[in-house]
């Protein structure tokens, strides 16, 4: 098995789509809600969320990375400078812990049929490497800590504490946000 992770630039857009929206449903989120307001999506996408996502991927710094297993796209991680993610900047629930200009992981998706194969470890490491290549001093994530409870899969995109601990992240605080009745943590990995 050969793993690789790449920024989701314009030439990898279809691979990104294959991971997060294989049926290309127009109403699907396309991982835009943290990065764009509804009017911005409309303006960028000319009525199409897919087009708005495509335009984000054409920017100098794309909105995340795609992980491949033997040339098949199997995972997506939405990551960027916290200061470039409007929903985090204006959040009343996930406050900055300090003044470090962190990059934030806001979504992790593993393609159906590829779960429990180690995708998230490669995906998170690829996202961390991407952030480091752009000068990030640290990467944060805001996962839940389900303890011994089973996690609602509709909230799986936020990730779990153990998933990020395995990737070298440490808990540095908590948020005021709740996902599936579970508190969300602030976890950080210094680079």
3 state SS for the chain: CCEEEEECCHHHHHHHHHHHCCCCCCCCCCCCCCCCCHHHHHHHHCCCHHHHHHHHHCCCCCCEEEEEECCEEEEEEEEEEHHHCHHHHCCCCCCCCCCCCCEEEEEEEECCCCCCCCHHHHHHHHHHHHHHHCCCCEEEECCECCCCCCCCHHHHHHCEHHHHHHCCCEEEEEEEEEECCEEEEEEEEEC
Count of structural domains within the chain: 1
In a domain, 29, yes or no: no
- Predicted pLDDT at 94: 92
The tens digit of pLDDT for each residue in 16-73 reads 999 999 998 877 888 888 888 878 877 776 668 888 899 899 999 999 999 999 999 9
Query: What CATH number is given to the structural domain containing 163?
Result: 3.40.630.30
The tens digit of pLDDT for each residue in 74-131 reads 999 999 999 999 989 999 999 999 999 999 999 999 998 898 899 999 999 999 999 9
The better pLDDT of the pair 126, 153 is held by 126
What percent of the chain shows pLDDT beyond 70?
92
In a domain, 20, yes or no: no
Predicted TM-score (pTM) of the model is: 0.92
In a domain, 181, yes or no: yes
In a domain, 148, yes or no: yes
The tens digit of pLDDT for each residue in 44-60 reads 766 688 888 998 999 99
Domain around 71? 3-7+63-190
């Amino acid at each position: 098995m050969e793993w690789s992770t790449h920024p989701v630039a314009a030439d990898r857009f279809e691979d990104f789509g294959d991971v997060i929206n294989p049926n290309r449903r127009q109403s699907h989120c396309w991982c835009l809600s943290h990065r764009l307001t509804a009017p911005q999506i409309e303006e960028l996408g000319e009525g199409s969320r897919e087009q708005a996502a495509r335009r984000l991927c054409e920017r100098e710094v794309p909105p995340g990375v795609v992980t491949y297993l033997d040339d098949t796209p199997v995972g997506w991680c939405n990551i960027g400078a916290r200061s470039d993610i409007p929903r985090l900047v204006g959040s009343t629930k996930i406050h900055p812990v300090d003044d470090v200009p962190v990059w934030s992981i806001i979504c992790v998706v593993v393609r159906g049929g590829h779960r429990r194969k180690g995708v998230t470890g490669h995906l998170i490491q690829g996202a961390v490497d991407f952030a480091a290549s752009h000068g990030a001093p640290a990467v944060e994530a805001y996962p839940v800590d389900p303890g011994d409870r089973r996690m609602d899969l509709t909230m799986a995109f936020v990730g779990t504490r153990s998933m990020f601990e395995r990737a070298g992240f440490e808990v540095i605080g908590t948020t005021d946000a709740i996902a599936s009745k579970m508190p969300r943590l602030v976890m950080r990995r210094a680079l």
